[in-house]
Amino acid sequence: MEVEDFLSSHTYETNPGKGMLLISAPMMLDKYFTRSVVLLINSKEEGEPLGLILNHSIDVNLDQLIENFPIKQDIKVFNGGPVDLTKMFVLHHFADVKDSIEVLPGLFAGGNSDQLWNHITSGEDLNGKIRFFFGISGWGEDQLTKELLENSWAINPNPNPDMLLIGEGEEYWRREVIGLGENFRSWLSIPIHPSFN
């Protein structure tokens, strides 16, 4: 079976919403979205789609950004997407943080900065509980629908919120592809540059 057949043999929902995952097709070679997993954080009623790339860390830790950072825990910062690159976004599992938006059961976006800081500096293990991002991913009118019709993305409509802040890189992408089911296993055999195979 040809690479193109791997991709065109699947059809996807073209109107994804808040809390769903977009998983990039293996042929996507975009600077930001190659082997990416994007969590959509707003509903259809709230406007054009916005999301955060969950699995692409950058070469910066939180303690490098904040002077006199009070804890020794390494907290990686991630690239959330190509829009608003100087703005920081956060996902977390802290239900007590005011003004946060529940994206999935137990998974929240944003919120009161003082309460978030209290969690960060409390000494608790933050692994899998909070993730910071520079930038966000956004699509203009009908742009995401077009990309879905082109089979650029697969959709997981019901991701496990407990796993979304754990892992990174291609290993994360492969885990989420496996979670899509047997029909998508062929994606795992396609190298990033198919012409090299």
The whole-number pLDDT of residue 46 equals: 82
The whole-number pLDDT of residue 196 equals: 44
Long-range contacts of 112-115 (CB under 8 A, 24+ apart): none
Residue 36 resides in a domain: yes
* Closest alpha carbon to 41 in 131, 120, 116, 121: 131
Residue 196 resides in a domain: no
Over its C-alpha atoms, the chain yields an Rg (Å, rounded) of 17
Residue 67 resides in a domain: yes
The whole-number pLDDT of residue 182 equals: 95
- State mean pLDDT over 168-179: 97
- The pLDDT mean for the chain works out to 89
Q: Any idea what the CATH number is for the domain that residue 68 is in?
A: 3.40.1740.10
Read off the pLDDT of residues 40-93 as tens digits, 9 standing for 90 and up: 999 777 888 999 999 999 998 888 888 777 777 788 999 999 999 999 999 999
One-letter amino acid for residue 116 of the chain: L
Residue 118 CB partners (closer than 8 Å, separation 6+): none
Q: In this model, does residue 7 exceed pLDDT 60?
A: no
Residue 143 resides in a domain: yes
Phi then psi for residue 196, to 5 deg, are -80, -15
Largest CA distance in the chain: 56
Q: Range with the lowest mean pLDDT among 7-21, 91-105, 178-192?
A: 7-21
Residue 20 resides in a domain: yes
Decide: 54 and 81 in contact? Cβ < 8 Å: no
* Closest alpha carbon to 184 in 2, 1, 4, 7: 7
Q: Range with the lowest mean pLDDT among 16-30, 56-70, 87-101, 139-153?
A: 56-70
> Which of 15-19, 63-67, 127-131, 140-144 has maximum average pLDDT?
127-131
Domain count, the chain: 1
- State mean pLDDT over 3-8: 47
Domain range holding 156?
3-191
Local confidence band at 193 (pLDDT 50, 70, 90 cut-offs): low
Residue 153 resides in a domain: yes
Question: CA 16, 17, 22 angle in degrees (round to 5)?
Answer: 55
Residue 197 resides in a domain: no
Q: How far is CA 25 from the centre of its chain?
A: 14
Distance in angstroms (rounded) separating the CA atoms of residues 54 and 101: 17
Q: Give the pTM.
A: 0.90
Residue 76 resides in a domain: yes
